[in-house]
Structure 1
Amino acid sequence: MESGSSLLVGDFKCRVSSVLNKLTKEYGKDYMFDKSEETCWNSHQGTPQYVVIQFPQENGADVRQLNIMFQGGFVGKDCEVLITTGDSKEFQHCTHFYPKDINATQTFPLNANNVRQIKILFPTSTDFFGRVTIYQLDILGFPSS
């Protein structure tokens, strides 16, 4: 099955659970999407942590793949993807995924159609304090028709 192209283009919106010490200029959410391996989003301590993406496409998106690069030692464990579809505001379970504690881009398959929002939930972390650090995040798929 083809994974499509990045859905994180144009007017997508992103929310995160927290930013380390509220230092958004150094560790803000936008750094997950700047394609630089020098910058990252750092969450504050505590669990759970999450990233929510709202797609700009009018009919939502058909999501096929999640690409994510953590900092080793600050990796989400027992992660879950939740989605909203159509006009629903309620998040529903899509899939679980289990990242390795490494500094490389990891790819996880997704298969959901007409997705308006996607929530990537990190219930726990490899960090003792529950912090999560993400250098790159991308969601691949197709605009829903």
Structure 2
Amino acid sequence: MSSSLLVKGRFKSRVSSVLNKNSKEYGKDNMFDGSDESCWNSHQGSPQSCSVQFLAEDGQTEQPVNVSSLQICFQGGFVGKDCEIHAITSGSDSFALVSMFYPEDINTVQAFPVDIKNALQVKVLFKSSTDFFGRITIYKLDLLGDRS
């Protein structure tokens, strides 16, 4: 059974930008806090991205995981278009394209199946946006699967 791989202290995240560099209101951690009120909001421009590095219980060393699904909730009007999932897997040192996905311009959680074995890091790339200025707004991002 798949469960969330984004357990506090067991991953690190990065984003390409934060709106007005205001990490408190619009920072990356807001995608993972479980609140419907907080979000990550990118600065303008394309492409934008967010990445996750999976960690062992010590919170320091990488631990491979198997990823079966990406769940994401955008703010309508600020949705990624022509999106890609990339991964670094055990035995590799660079990101490789895993799949492409095409979210709807809606405010509900959308799920996209993936099949990534032994992932050390996953990057979601938003090549463009439904927003004229290229901004992306995400209220929830989760990766489901199991730890190797």
Length-normalised TM-score, structure 1: 0.95
Query: Corresponding residue for 2:53?
Result: 54
How far is 1:33 from its partner?
A: 0.3
Identity %: 60
The range that moved more, 68-77 or 83-92, is 83-92
Query: Corresponding residue for 1:69?
Result: 73
- Say if 2:114 is the partner of 1:136: no
Query: Corresponding residue for 1:116?
Result: 120
- Structure 1 gap segments, 5+ residues each: none
- Checking the alignment, whether the CA contact within 8 Å between 1:59 and 1:86 is kept in structure 2 is no
Moved over 3 A (4+): none
Cα RMSD between the aligned structures?
A: 1.0
Query: Corresponding residue for 1:40?
Result: 39
Length-normalised TM-score, structure 2: 0.93
- Say if 2:96 is the partner of 1:92: yes
Rounded to whole Å, the distance in 2 between the matches of 1:63 and 1:11 is 15
Counterpart residue type for residue 30 of structure 2? Y
Rounded to whole Å, the distance in 1 between the matches of 2:140 and 2:99 is 20
- Checking the alignment, whether the CA contact within 8 Å between 2:54 and 2:63 is kept in structure 1 is no
How far is 1:110 from its partner?
A: 0.7
Query: Corresponding residue for 1:6?
Result: 4
